[in-house]
Structures are given as structure tokens and as C-alpha cells.
Structure 1
Amino acid sequence: MAFRAAASRFVTGVTVVTVPDGGGGLNGMTANSFVTVSLSPPTVLVSVMPGRMHRAIAAGGRYGVNVLPQGAQGLSTHFAGRPVARLAPDYDLVAGLPRLAGCTAFFACELVRQVDVGDHSLFIAEVSHCEHSDAPPLVFYSSRYHDPPGSAHAAEG
């Protein structure tokens, strides 16, 4: 499909959206459709298809966004619906939301609006807490993972 091929030429970071599962664990989904919307108040959005995560975000009104670090392709694949055998993601709760260990950045999000567009919903949220590290992010371009320019792996390759 031409639209999908053209859209794949836009470089994105890779995130995992997380919510508590109610049983002491986490539900998560890989998303590269994460956007900052406003600095004041700090506002972001994520685009989600109907399903388990859509229901969890709509019901709970909160979600976390974990920006994956370089080398975290296994986590991305795991949360994209292709579970990696024996992978037990390490996480802790920050502001009551699951933050994946080693993430490059984390945003705790409080839902303010849901906008249904086509086959997805845009979950717009104010950021109640965020943090970051200097770890290079995982990058997705042309339907493949890449090391960001200037990273140690990119310099070696």
C-alpha cells in the first residue's frame, strides 16, 4: 500500500505504552505513533487500535509511555504482539504506572480527551511526571530498526 510505504519513510522513535493489569503486572503495546502536542501544559498523544490496550486506557484514564533505548528490539517485538520466549520485562511503578527498566524516557500520562479517527483512537493526555536518561533511543525507519546517528553502534557500522 502506497500510504504505508510513504509513512515508513518518516523516522520515529519506538515506545511501549504501559498500564497496570490490575493483578500486579503490566499490559503493554509497542507504538511509534507517539507525539508531543503542547509544552504548556505538557501534553502528548498516542494512537491506539481497538483491543485490550484501548479498553485499558479508556477505562483507567492513565497510561505510561516508555521510550525504548537502542538495542531494545526484543522488548519492542515482545510488546508488538510477538512475545519473546522467557522474556520477563523488568519494570517498576512510577506515579502508579509501569516504567520499563532502562528506558530512555518515561512519561506518566493523564487522559484528557479521546478522539476517534478511522480505525484508531487518539488518546490525548497531560503529562503528570516525566524523566529521561542520556541513553540513545531505538529508531524505526523504512519498517526496520536502526541505530541513531552518532551512536556507538552507528559509528562502528
Structure 2
Amino acid sequence: MDGRKFRNAMGSFATGVTVIATENAGNIHGMTANAFMSQSLDPNLIVISLKEDAHMLKKIQESGQFSVNILSEDQQELSMIFAGQVETDEEVPFNYLDGKPVVPGAIAQVACNVKSEYIEGDHSLFIGQVTDINLEDGEPLIFSKGKYRKLEKAVTATS
């Protein structure tokens, strides 16, 4: 099967945009990712998928913890910074949730401890045991077909 065709098909699925963050020896590391999903409600588990050559893979293996930060529609530049598409000399600020670094202004911040890791194909799947969650108002940043997008505001019918 043509790899580009597969990639284009998968890119047709609209996803939210997250920044995965972890901390090692006082240094915070982050990366933009859309390979994230909820896995279980009881217990509260999530899954992230990282490519085998991602710098973040080893960082999470070493720290044993991470956060998933679901970005708001006004955080596109932040997504691009953590995707390596935009360079900045400014330090990106982080807050903490249950001892894990989180992105301020993200509409959801999910703190996790690594429960397990599975290697499948050229990616590692991390199962995260959720330890805390913070929610904020806002609309999500969306990514589909290689472009950032925003949700259209819902229109309420009036009688």
C-alpha cells in the first residue's frame, strides 16, 4: 500500500491538538501530538502514541509521567512551537498539576503516570493512569488534512 495514501486517509480524520509534556531533572519537555484518546473510565486511563524516533519517547520512559494538554483554538502558535514549525527565543511557561507540567490556557490538562507501554509498528503506545484533571472554558483547536481549523460556533434557533 502507498504510504502517502495511508497518511492522507488518516489525515482526513479531524482531531484535537495536544501538547504532551513531561519533566526530567528539572527540564520540561513538550511536543505537539494528535495521537491521543481516552481508553477507560474505570479506572481513568488514556493512551498516547509516540513515534520510535521522537525525543519525547525516552523522556517519558525516564520520568514515568506526562501530561496531555488539549489546546484551545487560540493556541495554534503554541502547537507550532512544540511541533518545531516555529522557533522562538521566549521560554514557554508551564504550570503544574499533580507535579506534572501543564500548558496554561489549555482547555483540558490531564496529569498521568505511565501505567504501561506497548511497542506496535514504529510507535510506542503509553497507557496513562490519570491522576488529576483541570478544565478551562474555550473551544478546541482542530487539525484535519494538514491544516489547523476551528469549530464553527453553534447557532441556537430562537422561536
- 8 Å contact from structure 2 (residues 23, 63) kept in 1: no
2:83 pairs with 76, 80, 83, which one? 80
Which whole-Å CA distance do the structure 2 matches of 1:98 and 1:44 have between them?
17
Q: What amino acid is aligned across from residue 26 of structure 1 in structure 2? A: I
Q: Which runs of 5+ in 2 are unaligned?
A: 155-159
Which whole-Å CA distance do the structure 2 matches of 1:18 and 1:117 have between them?
22
Identity of aligned residues (%): 34
Cα RMSD, aligned residues only: 1.6
Aligned residues: 151
The alignment partner of 1:134 has SS state of: coil
1:123 pairs with 126, 133, 146, which one? 126
Shift of 1:142: 1.0
Which whole-Å CA distance do the structure 1 matches of 2:8 and 2:16 have between them?
17
Which whole-Å CA distance do the structure 2 matches of 1:13 and 1:77 have between them?
14
2:17 aligns with: 14
1:28 pairs with 27, 30, 40, which one? 30
1:94 aligns with: 97
Which TM-score applies when normalising by structure 1? 0.90
Which whole-Å CA distance do the structure 2 matches of 1:74 and 1:84 have between them?
10
Which whole-Å CA distance do the structure 1 matches of 2:57 and 2:99 have between them?
18
- 8 Å contact from structure 1 (residues 42, 127) kept in 2: yes
Shift of 1:83: 4.1
- 8 Å contact from structure 2 (residues 24, 63) kept in 1: no
- 8 Å contact from structure 1 (residues 74, 84) kept in 2: no
Structure with higher Rg: it is 2
Which TM-score applies when normalising by structure 2? 0.89
Q: Which runs of 5+ in 1 are unaligned?
A: 152-157
